Amino acid sequence: MTMTAAPLALIAAGLLILWMPRAGLIPQARRWRRRRERMRVEHALKRLLASEHGSGPIAPESLADSLRLGRRETYRLVRRMESAGLVQSQPGALQL
- pLDDT tens-digit readout, 46-68: 988 888 888 778 888 888 888 89
DSSP string, the chain: --TTHHHHHHHHHHHHHHH-TTTSHHHHHHHHHHHHHHHHHHHHHHHHHHHHHTT-SB-HHHHHHHHT--HHHHHHHHHHHHHTTS-EEETTEEE-
Give the predicted TM-score (pTM) of the model: 0.70
Give the pLDDT score at 23: 73
Confidence of residue 29 (pLDDT cuts 50, 70, 90): confident
